[in-house]
Chains A and B, each alone.
Chain A
Amino acid sequence: MIAVFVICVFGFLIFYLWDGSLPILKIKGLSFFFESDWDPNSDQFGALPFIYGTLLTSVVALIISAPIAISTAIFLTEIASKRISKPFGFLIEMLSTIPSVVYGLWGIFVLAPFVRDYIQPVFTNYLGFVPFFKGPPFGIGIFTAGLILAIMILPTITAVCREVFLSIPVSLREGVSALGATRWETIKTAVIEAGFSGILAAVALGFGRAMGETMAVTMLIGNRPDITFSLFAPGSTMASVIANESPEATSALHTSALSAIGLSLFLVSLAVSGLSRLITQITKHRLAK
C-alpha cells in the first residue's frame, strides 16, 4: 500500500515537471535547447548557455578529478598498507560529507582568490594567445567552478574505483607479478586494464553528480547566461539558473522554461547514472566468469 503511494508521488514528480515544461516547449519546441538568448524580461528563453555551462564545468571537473581519484583508489587498494589506507579512506569519505554551500563559501574566499592570483596568471602569461585561456582576472568563472566540482566529485569516483579494484581477484595480480612485472606494470595490467570498464562507470557517475551540483557552482560561476569560449569567463549552469531564478520568476513562461531545464537536467543525470550502473553490472558479470 505504501509502495503504491511512493510510486504515485514519484509519478507526480515526473508529471509536474513535464506539465510545467509543456508551455515553453509548445512555443519553442526543441529549439529551446539550442538557442542562446536568455532574457526573462523580454520573454526570450534559450537554454543553450546553461547546457554549455553544465557540460563545460562538468568536463573540467572530470579532467581534473579523474586522474587524481583513480590514483587515490590505486593508492588505497594497491600501495598503501592497511594502517595508512584506513584513515586515508576515511578522510576521503569525510570530504564527501561537507555540504555544497560550505564548499561554495570556501570557494569564494579561498579558492577564487587563489585561482585569480596564482593559476590564472600562469595561463595568461604562457597560453594567453589562445582565446580559450583568456578571461577577466576575477577568479570566478567556469574554471573555478569546475575546480570545486572536481574536489566534490573526487570521493565518489574514488569510492567506486576502489570497489572495482577490490573485486578484481588477487590471483590476477599475482599472476602478472609472477611473470616478472614491476609494481607499476602489475598495476597497469591487472588493475587498470582489468577494471577499465569499472573506472569508466565511476567516472560516468562522477560526471552525473557534477552536472547536478548546484550551490558551490552557483557561488563560483558568476551567473552570466552567456556562452563565452573561455575557461575563465563567467557562465551559468542548468542547476544554478534554476536555483537563482525560480524564486523570482517573472512570468509563467519563465517558470515553464525553468521547469523544462529541470526536466532535462533530471533526464540527463538519470541517463548518465543509469549508464554507469549498467557498466558496473557488466563488469561484475565479466569478472565473475
Chain B
Amino acid sequence: MSRTSQPYLLALKRRKIKNNFMIGLIVLLSVLAVIPLFMVFFHIVRNGFASLNFDFFTKLPAPLGEPNGGMANSILGSLILITFASLIAVPIGVLSGLYLSEYKNDRLASVLRWTVDLLMSIPSIVIGLFIYTLIVLPMKSFSALAGGSALALLMFPIVAKTTEEVLKLTPIHIREAGLALGLSRWRVILFVVLRGKSSAVMTGVVLALGRVAGETAPLLVTAFGNRNWPKSLTEPTPSLPVQIYNYAISPYENWHSQAWAGALTLVTLIFVINIVTRLIFSKDGLSKSHL
C-alpha cells in the first residue's frame, strides 16, 4: 500500500479512532480507580465528624440503649496492644534485619530471609488462629498478651525487611572504614551502620505500626474485646478496629455513628503516620545521597 492510497488512509483513520477510544478507555478506568478512595474518604469524614466529640475520646461505651458513650477504652486498648507488639517485634525485627544485611550469604541468613518472606504473605487471620491455638486455648481466655503477640508476628517481617533494605544502602567503604579503625564487627554494625541509618530504620518501624494499627481479624480471635477499661494483660482487651467492627454489624443507629467516628479516628491516624514518615524518609534519602 502506498502512503496515500485510499485503503491505507482508511485503515489509518480506523486505527486513529481505535487509538482515541482505547486511550480514552484507559483514562476513564484510571479515574474510576480513585473514585472509591474519594467516596470512602468523603463518607468517613461526613459521618464520622457528626459523632466525633470529646466524649468519644474519654468515655466508656454506654450500656445498651443509652445514647452517647465513647470508645475511650478501645483507643487505650489499641495503644496497649500496639505497644506490647512493638516491644517484641521491633528489637527482634531490627536485629534480624541487621543480621540479614551483614551476613547475606550465610545459609542461615537465607533461611531466615525465606521465613520472613513467608511470614509476610500469611493472611492475618491465620496468624490470629495460630495464636488462638497457642495462647488463648491453653490460657482459656482472650488476652492482650495473645493480641499483642499476634500483632507482633504481623509487625516483625515488615520491620525486618525494611531494616535490611535500609542497611544494605550503607556503602561498603563506610563499613570498611569502621573496621579499619580497629572496631570489632559487631561494633561496626551497631554503632556505624545502624547509627547512620537510624532515622530510616525508625521510619520502617513506624510504617509497620501504621499497618498493624488497623488490623482487626487477628484481634477478634485473640484479644476479643471488652466494654470496660483494659485492666490487665491477661484479660480480653478492647481495640479500636474491633470496636468499629462490633458496632458496624450491630442493629443500633447510635452505635453505627460511633463506628464512623472510630473509622475517622483510625484512618486519620494511619494517614498521618504514612504521610509524615514518607516525608521524613524522602528527606533522609536525599540528604544521604550526596555521599
Contacts and interface: CB of A to CB of B under 8 A. Distances in A.
Interface of A: 2-7, 9-10, 12-13, 16-17, 20, 67-69, 71-72, 74-76, 79, 88, 91-92, 94-95, 97-106, 108-110, 151, 154, 158, 182-185, 187-188, 208, 211-215, 219, 239, 242-243, 246-247, 255, 258-259, 262-263, 265-266, 269-270, 273
Nearest to A7: B115
Given A246-B221, A269-B123, A110 B271 contact: no
Nearest to B273: A97
A68 B245 contact: no
A74 B30 CA distance: 9
A25 to B, nearest CB: 15
A247 B108 contact: no
A99 B267 contact: yes
Nearest to B98: A2
B92 A219 contact: no
Interface string B251-291: 00000100110010011001100100000000000000000
A68 B115 CA distance: 33
A177 to B, nearest CB: 12
A97 B125 contact: no
Contacts of B99: 2-3
Given A2-B92, A182-B19, A242-B221, A97 B271 contact: yes
A184 B267 contact: no
Interface in B133-181: 133-134, 137, 142, 153, 156
B244 interface: yes
Contact of A182 (B16, B43, B122): B16
Nearest to B214: A99
B129 A262 contact: yes
Interface stretch (B20-28, B50-58, B62-70): B20-28
Contacts of A75: 26-27, 29-30
Interface stretch (B33-41, B183-191, B194-202, B227-235): B33-41
Contact of A98 (B111, B215, B248, B270): B270
Q: How large is the interface on B (under 10, 10 to 19, 20 to 34, 35 or more residues)?
A: 35 or more
Given A97-B270, A269-B121, A184 B22 contact: yes
B203 interface: no
Nearest to A270: B121
Given A12-B134, A92-B34, A106-B44, A242 B245 contact: no
Contacts of B27: 75, 79
A10 B115 contact: yes
Given A3-B112, A98-B40, A215 B245 contact: yes
A213 B122 CA distance: 11
Contacts of A266: 122-123, 126
A72 to B, nearest CB: 4
Contact of B224 (A2, A182, A247): A247
19 contacts: A9-B153, A68-B33, A72-B30, A75-B27, A79-B26, A94-B37, A98-B214, A98-B270, A99-B213, A99-B241, A102-B44, A108-B248, A154-B36, A184-B19, A212-B126, A214-B216, A243-B128, A243-B220, A269-B122
B237 interface: no
Nearest to B106: A3
Contacts of B43: 106, 109-110
A269 B117 CA distance: 13
B23 A259 contact: no
B96 interface: yes
A183 B23 contact: yes
A212 to B, nearest CB: 3
Given A6-B115, A105-B244, A214-B123, A258 B129 contact: yes
Contact of A3 (B39, B109, B123): B109
Nearest to A244: B220
B15 interface: yes
B256 A109 contact: yes
Contact of B92 (A5, A92, A184, A273): A5
B60 interface: no
Residue from B26, B127, B142, B244 with most neighbouring chain A CB atoms (10 Å)? B26
B19 A102 contact: no
Given A17-B130, A88-B34, A110 B39 contact: yes
Nearest to B142: A247
Contact of A71 (B26, B34, B259, B263): B26
Contact of A20 (B124, B133, B211, B259): B133
Nearest to B91: A2
Nearest to B132: A246
A102 B23 contact: no
Nearest to A269: B123
Given A71-B25, A183-B23, A99 B124 contact: no
A7 B112 contact: yes
Contact of B118 (A100, A105, A270): A270
Contact of A100 (B36, B122, B216): B216
A227 B227 CA distance: 36
Nearest to A4: B108
A66 to B, nearest CB: 11
